[in-house]
Amino acid sequence: MKIVFTQFTPPFEHGMTEMEYLEYDDWFSKLRRAFAKNEEVFFISLTKEKKLITIRHDGYNALFFPVKNPKQRQSRGRLWYENDEISSWLHRFNPDVMHIIGSGSQMALNVLKKVREPLSFLWERNVVNKNTLMWEDLDLCDYYVHPTLDSIKRAMARVPKEKLLKVPLGADTDFFKPVKLEKQFDIVSVGVLTPRKQIDKIQKIVCQRKYSWIHSGGYVKGPPYTKVEDLFFFRKLRKLFSKYPQKKSYSGDICSGRFSHQQMPLIYNRSRIMVHPALFEGAARAVQEALCCELPVVVSKKAVPWVKPEFGIALDDLSQLDYAVQSLLSDNDKIKKMGKNGREWLMANHSFSHLYDVVARFNHMEKPEKEKCPRN
């Protein structure tokens, strides 16, 4: 069987090289590696380089096609990068199955329009809303894959039930696991510093309560850092030191920056709880990683509705965030008990072997007759 996986959010969007992108060990890289043992697998993405980049990795071939319009990027929630050669290559390769990871990409839409023969799966990684449900990608794919039941319920407002599929996405319980280390930070948070992630709410609580805090995903500015610490750590200077420099406060209680995938288990295990007040999420992978490392979580219920009281606090109203964080951090026994419950729940409900079996069944599904699945 010929299988193609695509991710049209290119490596440079994440500040990575092409090889670093392939080595990032998430569920999708594991699926590519696992299926490559018995099937012919290709991975397709984009690059800022002017020539096609081909890399043999983990038993499959990865192709990074040059972006035609690198400055256009994103607007109206969609990624507008394009390349004229990918569809032609797909026609020549003639895959049996295409897994398109991520909706909202113009490149994915072009592929779904022009390459109709393979069985196509569009994997949702973002929050589903009225705007995204109007995207043409959803009409053109054979099946629309979601990581949560909540996401499927939202999609059912516009997409026929028979083309909606759920996968058990979770964290790697072998890589992310509890390790006995001294707890250096009260709070860990993860995410790009955008309004959607609401990291500023954590920042305010940390300042008020004098908590220790580590953030992965960007360089926090302003209090609890001093003006001198902010001034010293400007972009041009930090590039002189290392690829993943850390912005540490003089006291050592505050740390932020970009951390590699390999560093994240250590970061979780040196923290007491995770706080994740994002307005909305797709699969909320970072929350699952924290649970694997036996950290209880405090989240927005709207963004992460599957968090249960046994291992976390899901808030309907984020005005209660300060109280929730304070009450949890004041009870070490509760932190330990909830942490163990979280890992047990994740291992019972999510595993890679389960995911692989589900996707293997997907690959052998029949291509639906479009006229039998009209849009509502």
Integer Cα distance of 359 and 356 in angstroms: 5
Do 198 and 161 belong to one domain?
Answer: no
Q: In this predicted model, what pLDDT tens digit does every residue of 357-372 receive, in sequence order?
A: 999 999 999 998 764 4
Do 356 and 342 belong to one domain?
Answer: no
Do 86 and 164 belong to one domain?
Answer: yes
CA nearest to 131, candidates 195, 74, 77, 81:
77
Q: What is the pLDDT of residue 238?
A: 54
Q: What is the pLDDT of residue 376?
A: 41
**Helix (H/G/I), strand (E/B), else coil: 62:** strand
Residue type for position 306: W
Q: What is the pLDDT of residue 13?
A: 87
Do 153 and 276 belong to one domain?
Answer: no
Integer Cα distance of 12 and 47 in angstroms: 7
CA nearest to 151, candidates 167, 162, 171:
167
Q: How many domains does the chain have?
A: 2
**Helix (H/G/I), strand (E/B), else coil: 138:** helix
Residue type for position 360: A
Q: What is the pLDDT of residue 274?
A: 98
- Residue 142, judged by CB atoms within 10 A of its CB (0-12, 13-18, 19+), counts as buried
Instruction: Tell me the HSE value of 275 on the side-chain side, using a 13 A CA sphere.
Output: 30
Q: Could you tell me the sign of the dihedral formed by the alpha carbons of 210, 197, 121, 264, in that order? A: negative
Biggest CA–CA distance in the chain, Å, is 64
Do 145 and 62 belong to one domain?
Answer: yes
| φ/ψ (deg, to 5) at 81 | -60, 145
Integer Cα distance of 107 and 101 in angstroms: 11
Find out whether 137 and 252 touch, Cβ atoms under 8 Å. Answer: no
Do 263 and 357 belong to one domain?
Answer: no
Do 191 and 158 belong to one domain?
Answer: no
Find out whether 96 and 119 touch, Cβ atoms under 8 Å. Answer: yes
Does residue 178 fall inside a structural domain?
no
Do 145 and 255 belong to one domain?
Answer: no
89: domain CATH number is 3.40.50.2000
The continuous run of DSSP H or E covering 113 comes out as helix 106-114
Does residue 375 fall inside a structural domain?
no
Do 210 and 246 belong to one domain?
Answer: yes
Q: What is the pLDDT of residue 242?
A: 55
Do 342 and 202 belong to one domain?
Answer: yes
The ranges of the chain with pLDDT < 50 are 371-376
Domain extent for 340: 185-349
Its pTM surpasses 0.75: no
